[in-house]
Structure 1
Amino acid sequence: MSSLTRRRRRLTICAITVSAALVSLPASAAPGKNSTPFGARTLARLAAERTHSAGGITHQVKAADEDDGNEADEIAEGADQYAEARTSPGIVAPGAYGAAWNSLGKLPGTGGGWHHVTDLPYNSDDPRYRDFDSNSSGGAGNVTGRMAAMAADDDGYVYAGSAGGGVWRSHTGGGHWKPISDRLSSQSTGALALDGAGRLWLGTGEATTNADAYLGSGVYVLSHPHHGSFSMRSRVGGDELESTTVHELRFGAGKVWAATSEGVWSHSTKKLTGAWKLEFAPNPDYLPGGSKASDPSAAYKNIANDIAIDPKDPTKVVLAVGWRSGDDYNGFYTKTNGAWTRITSGLGDLPADADGVGNVTFARSADGSRYYAVDQSPEQLNTNPDSGLEGIFVSKSGSPTGPWTKIADYKGLAADGSALTTSGYMPGIQAWYNQFLTVDPSDPQHVYAGLEEVHETKDGGSTWSAVGPYWNFGFPCWSIDPAKQTGDCNQTTHPDQHGVAIGRYHGKSFVYVGNDGGVYRRPVDGAQDSSGHATDWTSLNDGTIDTLQYYSVGIGKDLAYGGVAVTGGLQDNGQSVLRGNDKVMGSNFGGDGGDTLTDPANGCNIAEEYVYLAVQITQNCAVNDGSWTSDPSRVTSYNVAPADSATSEARFIAPLAADMKNSSTWIAGGRHVWVQTHGYAIRSGSEWTSLHDLGVGRTATAVAASGGKVYVAWCGPCNNRGFARGIAVGNEDGTGWHDITLPVDGTVPNRYLSGFAVDPKNADHVYLAVNGFSRHWTEGPGAGVGHVFESKDGGTTWKDISANLPDVPANSAVVTQNGGLAVATDLGVVYRAPGRTTWQRVGRLPAVAVLQLKLSPDGGTLYAATHGRGIYTVKVRDCD
């Protein structure tokens, strides 16, 4: 695909299904107004050829599959698939991750400890990699992983809650971060809030209903947040909020209110023991223990998004409840005559019908004179290819019951300096995922609203400015050639906004925003240029905070600088490259980064997957020579995607592997099993050959090859409605392909098969990593038990070798040179030493998902790609 198509498609990095970890069903089961609850088709796949002039260079842009519509379908696909791996074939009961974490903690530990590799700044604008295939010069600067929530006080302390890497604290108004939640069993943040007493409240479980979000273990409070850290003893109440997501925490009348995926709950803020009280669940039969708890749609039936408490009368409370794709229960509720009742009139412009109320965020002014709300509409999501935003509203009475007046819609926001319009999108295209709202404490008419971009109004909504535009591409100031830039392009924030807070540092007020690229700040009343774009954003991702969400890792010798070059694919942060002498990591590819192949002999030979097997290769680490030309002989990377990429007959993050004995032979898996034998010298997708057709509706989930023998795992259907899985085996020359007959007795569970590890000494000796949870936690047919299996006859028969391994999803495995076996799980890494039958825990990582393991070129170091805390290494010899 062309580089500009990559830039357009990079908006699809977030995802749309309910929590992968897990609400226990795929997005396809969700109720909605249409059979596909995610609205219109993907805008990212622009159907028609377009021409785009960037700095005087004209590019032809043609989408990979000529498919029309909006981006939500592609986002839904990626989300669905991440969840499928952990949920199929059935419903996963609450508490599965908590039990796994407890079991993991009881395992004996290996020797040695983890070394943090990516604990340094990651510059998405690194000038070394400025190119049409990167996002360099987009203006986001230093980035890290997704931030779901923010809090700040007037003493210079800032708190950032990440999607999968825990909560971090800065005492310098941002920067010099320290993690403060590593002892918790969930590192997924849903909400952060400071109460009137200065205590910091943490609601675990990210509530953005996206692909790679994880459920939480409850709500915690830190009485003295300037010091100390969260612990399991600081949990509020009992286990009522385990295995939920928390969207917001609000305070009023001596209570803390929690909007969760299982309704609205409250608890005393004075006495922190005792159970949480369920205030309202619109469909209580679908809650755990209810008569319909096992229904496939249960996880969507009690979603609460926010709570608004009347500052003049805290007994008056309005609940915003509803699934973003639409359901009959969606709406605003208040208590009337002791019962929660949907508000059907009197709201003014704020919709009262179920079709108009989806994901909602409230914010009130400090003086109580104004209430604001941003509302995502299921009807817009399902019918409007341009935006899912209903609008931004104000209640000038200060009461959450209104009446409300609309002060912004997507068309008005698009006209106020939005950068999305230069890329074919409109504000609010992902309003179900991107939302924040806050009011300047010193000015009730000064409001910050976060969607894909950061918007600001200083006059109560009469006028708006896109102070944090999506990027600088497409602006008159931008050119691929730095010499042709006007100098007016300022740093902006990373796209996709989630959290916001206002605090003070050294007597000055700042607004802090959290998004898919980390944390940024600017003065609350900062400066703007003539287009309304802020000129004073600062990235606070200084390298001391690493919440990068890797899908993959690759390692090769750095021939230029010594040591090794480390690279990896990331959620919404492209491909990172860390050279042997680097003090700052760079990004040489934009968008999502999927699977990665790196030449062990030369770390600048890299194959990087975007999504759906959209593979590009570089043989110089994609370092641009400064020519700023479209001359094909001087490009830094090449599109070499096999044909399944064009038809999307591959997984969102599709498997890619090199033969262990011949690094020039690659295997890629979609519906077909593909092979190419040109290594990093490949220049075209036509150089791939189909070895085997897995069949209609089937797609590869894992591939491995050694000495000409190929293993492929597949699923199809891949969700919990009719889930099926299997293994195909054959040779790289196209001979001998056949499906393995897996026993129906559960010897190999009917769950997602996520990885192979082939014995380097014997290609018929292979290990299999199995995702999901065992039948103890899932009611799905054939769920079986076990997570690691061994075959000594080329996959014909298998033996469960899980032994004392906790019941936790396994993602990948690798055989070490001495015959040991390391397995990556959703909660860390385990290791079975040579000659042993039991497992040990490797080091003491927080409760973070490790999605891939690779060995260094010399085999002596194990690299772990975590989805929330960057890349870590451990010496293999220390594990034995």
Structure 2
Amino acid sequence: MSVPTRKRRWLTICAVTASAALVALPAGAAPGPDGGRPFGARTLAQLAAARAQSTGGITPKVTAQDSDGGNESDEIAEGADQYAEARTSPGVVAPGAYGAAWTSLNNLPSSGGSWRNVTDLPYNSDDSRYRDFDSNSSGGSGNVTGRLAAMAADDDGYVYAGSAGGGVWRSRSGGGHWEPVSDRLSSQSTGALALDGSGRLWLGTGEANTNADAYLGSGVYVLTDAHHGTFSARSRVGGDELESTTIHQLRFGGGKVWAATSEGVWSHSTKTLGGAWKLEFAPNPDYLPGGSLASDPSAPYKNLANDIAIDPKDPSKVVLAVGWRSGDDYNGFYTKVRGTWTRITSGLGDLPSDADNVGNVTFARSADGSRYYAIDQSPEQLNTNPDSGLEGIYVAKSGSPFGPWTKIADYKQLAADGSALTSSGYMPGVQAWYNQFLTVDPANAQHVYAGLEEVYETKDGGGTWSTVGPYWNFGFPCWSIDPAKQTGDCNATTHSDQHGVAIGRYHGRSYVYVGNDGGAYRRPLDGAQDSSGHATDWTSLNDGTIDTLQYYSVGIGKDLAHGGVSVTGGLQDNGQSILRSDDKVMGSDFGGDGGDTLTDPANGCNIAEEYVYLAVQITQNCAVNDGSWVNDASKVTSYNVAPADNATSEARFIAPLAADMKNSSTWIAGGRHVWVQTHGYAIRSGSEWTSVHDLGAGHTATAVAASGGKVYAAWCGPCNNQGFARGISVGNADGTGWHDVTLPVDATVPNRYLSGFAVDPKNADHVYLEVNGFSRHWTEGPGAGVGHVFESKDGGTTWTDISANLPDVPTNSAVVTAGGGLAVATDLGVVYRAPGRTTWQRVGRLPAVAVLQLKLSPDGGTLYAATHGRGIYTIKVRDCG
């Protein structure tokens, strides 16, 4: 979200989160059966223009990326593709890769130091200090954290939140005052949470939102003492049958727990937790692990299950919703007929039964068994309708999942009931393949909450709907940028993009809890609404004790105004955070997705903040602004300086950006071209970048680095497993001496995604290369090779594998510490090789969370780690080894 200029957040991506779950399902990752982006749609820049006109404000600036005809749903899919490409190319990764890496990492010797979380305080997306042109302040989301994929709650005030990449958290006070309860597991990616009739908490690992951060999991776990216990490896249900899957839903009936997974539908006894899971149904078993087509690039899409509906009157009668969001011949509803799972082809009433219109589906049943509800996302709508992918919301008044079903809402009806999307050129359900939840009031079978991009409520069984949790407040008459008011005259709303929901009680009152891309929110179950149908009583539960923030990057610079340092970083769907040394609350000065970050070590308010595809912003005052730019263009405090590859979409979703180690005014940016600008933070226009090297048609930079004018650029193209290729180009910042390094497929450097460089500050010809993905032991693809860290002493001409005892796990970035030590960020934490040593040790004890970037403090004495699911951590370099 950006304030009334370009509502950048709609052009954001809700993608890419990491946890160290197990193996890379190209969930929306490698090119799926849909063959690319699902659809195109008009830009949301018109919303910005409309708001500027209605307030008499300045005409908003619109970047090329904003006006290229793309939309958020496109970008979620693209970001998902690219994040997983890095971990799966050049082939398909076999199950168990992350599990084996986690075991290997735990067997490494560990340094004696401890990590400290520096972002464990409230993060206010409405911080009135940052009402800058490109912030989302005053949008109404309030305090936020990283994406929550699942929620559960009981009647004793206990609430459970399952994050996309930061594990499971528990509150004993109806929300807030959170504590992590799954840190001992090898997977911190949540797919489903559910409380059974005896109060046990069931966790299905592996987020199933088919987005970039959708890491696979390690199975299903049960916490018997949900109020006081913590998950451990010993609490896993069954064997390893569900390892390396994502789990979309867990449902109970007939003494069984049913799991809808990326590898079909499975069941297990709820009484006896040992013994294997039973595969109930897989529509295409040849594509399962061990099958004859398991290595086929389309295998991850061939057995996706979304939900299970169990007949309350006869739990032996079950309906399965299976299918890939973008469509496949097997999509549909299935039930057992004479012992065989058979597609239901008729008799469902309004609920579609054809493969083209059954995609991602969520069921919900009333507590009294009188009604069943369902949300259905349509592959046909997804692929053809620029407004919405929602087929509809349905009810079966018989209480049976077999119907007949009646449609009670479509996207047009929801749009007319107070949605914030209509003024932006979109309709509810535009991301229905990614955003879905559904629940029924236990005391009232006609009282239903539905989640898409927004939160909707009906109290009459679908006759009328209210948008109780609008996408944001921008566009509403009550909105104002007045810094004295957090959300103008509007009431607070939730963050957008809904994933999880639960109903529970606290101090005798019932509440609904929702989890979304901004964390956890609650309101009274039968809460109040204003005249527009918007809730007046949402409370953010993101009090800083839950830190699931999903960073792509981190930047550190001296805080000249307050002493100490300022810490900033780019986040999935939560913009750019900034934490100054005297802050008690962290603020957001930049909306949408935050990508790579450059921060001036000498002045932490000089920041280059990247949106996606190299849409770079510059601020030289931390983007502090009271919103006066609305009526005075001269009051803008950030500037769009995107290189031209942004306009042509020839850059990666999260594109590389770096400053020369010897000259901080020289910057390198990578798209199809290697771009250089020499004005540092004084740059004011994208025209000030110069292309010094063309990597070639179809090639795009994956990493850049520079020292003393010597530049390294890694690239891929194609970047997926359909002919994957990679390379390295080396040259000078003045455009001279550019050449491609010879890297044949069978070279020492594997034919995998090249993710980072670390240059020796004492010698520009001495450089380290980080390689993503998994070795050929796990990856079926040409030239997958072995190793993750390589060293060159001749400017990149030749390379030596120095991985030694490093676990076989994707590596993302590295830094050279004082004295020549090397710290490396991996998908499971940080490892370190001390000066003069050849082996690696684990740095501290982080949970199984991906670390995407490392940076050193201005004095070089502290290491900062940007994790994609647990915020930003620091450790003293002396404690690394």
Structure 2 equivalent of residue 538 of structure 1: 539
CA distance in 2 between partners of 1:585 and 1:840 (Å): 33
Task: Classify 1:42/1:652 alpha carbon distance in 2 versus 1 (closer, same or farther; 3 Å).
Answer: farther
Aligned residue in 2 for 1:12: 12
* CA shift for structure 1 position 67: 3.0
CA distance in 2, matches of 1:480, 1:726: 48
Partner of 2:188: 187
Which residue does 2:408 correspond to in 1? 407
Whether the 8 Å contact between 1:50 and 1:61 is mirrored in structure 2 is no
How far does residue 631 in structure 1 lie from its aligned partner after superposition? Answer: 3.1
8 Å Cα contact 1:69-1:385 kept in structure 2? no
Cα distance, 1:71–1:139 mapped onto 2, change above 3 Å? closer
C-alpha spacing 1:695/1:668, structure 2 compared with 1 (3 Å): same
Residue of structure 1 in register with 2:287 after alignment: 286
Is this contact kept in 1: 2:6–2:48, CA < 8 A?
Answer: no
Give the distance between the partners of 1:50 and 1:480, measured in 2 at CA. 16
Could you tell me which residue of structure 2 aligns to residue 616 of structure 1?
617
Q: How does 1:346-745 map to 2 (within 5 A)?
A: 346-482=347-483, 488-625=489-626, 627-745=628-746
Partner SS for 2:647: helix
Residue aligned with 2:664, SS: strand
Tell me the distance in 1 between the aligned counterparts of 2:47 and 2:465: 32
Task: With the length of structure 2 as denominator, give the TM-score of the two structures.
Answer: 0.97
1:807-846: CA deviations, max 9, x gaps?
Answer: 0000000000121000000000000000000000000000
2:188 matched to 1:169? Answer: no
After superposition, the Cα gap between the structure-2 partners of 1:94 and 1:80, relative to the gap in structure 1 and judged at 3 Å, is: same
Give the distance between the partners of 1:862 and 1:589, measured in 2 at CA: 24
Alpha-carbon shift at residue 292 of structure 1 (Å): 1.0
Give the aligned partner of residue 262 of structure 1: 263
Tell me: CA distance 1:592–1:874, structure 2 relative to 1, closer, same or farther (3 Å). same
User: Shift of the alpha carbon at 1:359?
Assistant: 0.1
Distance 2:873 2:428 in 1: 37
Who is 1:306 aligned against? Answer: 307
Q: Deviations over 1:579-604 (max 9, x none)?
A: 01000000000000000000000000
Contact map agreement 1:20 1:212 (CA 8 A) in 2: no
Q: Unmatched 5+ residue regions in structure 2?
A: none
Structure showing greater relative contact order (alpha-carbon pairs closer than 8 Å, 6 or more residues apart): 2
- Gapped runs of 5+ residues in structure 1? none
1:853 Cα deviation from its structure 2 partner: 0.1
Give, in angstroms, the shift of residue 369 of structure 1. Answer: 0.3
* Corresponding residue pairs, total: 877
Whole-Å separation in 2 of the counterparts to 1:139 and 1:62: 23
Query: Residues 747, 827 of structure 1: CA spacing in aligned structure 2 closer, same or farther, 3 A cutoff?
Result: same
Residue 105, structure 1, aligned to residue 102, structure 2: no
Between the aligned residues of both structures, percent identity stands at 85
Q: Using a 3 Å threshold, how does the CA distance of structure 1 residues 530 and 81 change in structure 2: closer, same or farther?
A: same
Match of 1:141 in 2: 142
Q: Deviations over 1:587-641 (max 9, x none)?
A: 0000000000000000000000000000001000001156344534321100010
Map Cα deviations across residues 59-85 of structure 1 (whole Å, 9 max, x no partner).
Answer: 246451543365433322211110110
TM superposition shift of 1:487: 5.4
- Greater CA drift, 753-762 or 736-745: 736-745
* Aligned residue type for 2:513: Y
TM-score normalised per structure 1? 0.97
State the Cα deviation string for residues 454-491 of structure 1 (Å, max 9, x = none).
00000000000000000000100112245799953000
Q: In 2, are the aligned partners of 1:855 and 1:862 still within 8 Å (CA)?
A: yes
* TM-fit CA distance, 1:778: 0.7
| CA 1:642–1:63: 2 relative to 1, 3 Å | closer
Question: For the structure 1 residues 871 and 49, does the alpha-carbon distance in structure 2 shift closer, same or farther, using more than 3 Å as the test?
Answer: closer
Residue number in structure 2 paired with 1:759: 760
Closer, same or farther: CA 572–2 of 1 in aligned 2, 3 Å? closer
Residues 70-89 of structure 1: matches in 2 within 5 Å?
70-89=71-90
Q: Distance in 1 between matches of 2:363 and 2:2?
A: 40
AA aligned opposite 1:610: Y
Whether contact under 8 Å (1:17, 1:83) holds in the other structure is: no
Q: Distance in 2 between matches of 1:743 and 1:717?
A: 15
CA distance 1:479–1:733, shift in 2 (3 Å): same
Aligned partners of 1:678, 1:846: CA distance in 2, in Å? Answer: 40
Q: Deviations over 1:782-822 (max 9, x none)?
A: 11100000000000000000000000000000000121000
Q: Is the 8 A contact 2:133 2:629 kept in 1?
A: no
Paired with 1:27 and 1:577, the residues of 2 have a C-alpha distance of 31
Q: Which moved more, 1:67-76 or 1:314-323?
A: 67-76
1:323-373 Cα distance to aligned partner (Å, 9 max, x none)? 010001000111111111111111000001001100000000000000000
Instruction: Kindly indicate whether residue 821 of structure 2 is the aligned counterpart of residue 820 of structure 1.
Output: yes
The two structures, once aligned, show a CA RMSD in angstroms of 1.9
Identify if the C-alpha distance between structure 1 residues 487 and 591 changes in structure 2 by more than 3 Å, giving closer, same or farther: closer
Q: How many angstroms apart in 2 are the aligned matches of 1:804 and 1:676?
A: 39
* TM-aligned CA distance change 1:598 to 1:369, over 3 Å: same
> Structure 1 CA distance, aligned partners of 2:771 and 2:845?
23
Corresponding residue number in structure 1 for 2:25: 23
8 Å Cα contact 2:629/2:636 also seen in 1 = no
Paired residues for 1:33-112 under 5 Å: 35-36=35-36, 38-44=37-43, 51-53=50-52, 55-60=55-60, 62=62, 64=64, 66-68=67-69, 70-112=71-113
- Tell me which residue corresponds to 2:273: 272
> Distance in 1 between the 2:121 and 2:310 partners?
42
TM-aligned CA deviation for residue 22 of structure 1? 1.1
Distance in 2, Cα, partners of 1:340 & 1:264: 11
Alpha-carbon spacing, 1:42–1:865, altered in 2? closer, same or farther (3 Å): farther
Give the Cα–Cα distance (whole angstroms) in 1 for the partners of residues 661 and 455 of structure 2. Answer: 47
Amino acid at match of 2:499: H
The answer to whether the Cα contact below 8 Å between 1:676 and 1:687 also exists between their aligned partners in 2 is yes
AA matched with 2:31:
A
The letter for the 2-side match of 1:604 is C
Alpha-carbon distance, 1:39 to partner: 2.1
Within 2, Cα distance between the matches of 1:10 and 1:457? Answer: 26
In 2: Cα distance, 1:549 partner to 1:349 partner:
40
Does the 8 Å CA contact 1:85/1:771 hold for their aligned counterparts? yes
Alpha-carbon shift at residue 423 of structure 1 (Å): 1.6
8 Å CA contact 1:553–1:569 kept in 2: the answer is: yes
SS where residue 560 of structure 2 aligns?
A: coil
| Per-residue Cα deviation, 1:199-225 (whole angstroms, up to 9, x for no partner) | 000000000000111100000000010
- Measured after TM superposition, the shift of residue 446 of structure 1 is 0.1
Counterpart contact for 2:147–2:518, Cα < 8 Å:
yes
Mapped contact 2:138–2:486 kept (Cα < 8 A): no
Q: Secondary structure at the match of 1:733?
A: coil
Q: Does 1:805 align with 2:806?
A: yes
Question: Contact 1:25/1:299 (CA < 8 Å) preserved in 2?
Answer: yes
Give the aligned residue type for 1:613.
Answer: L
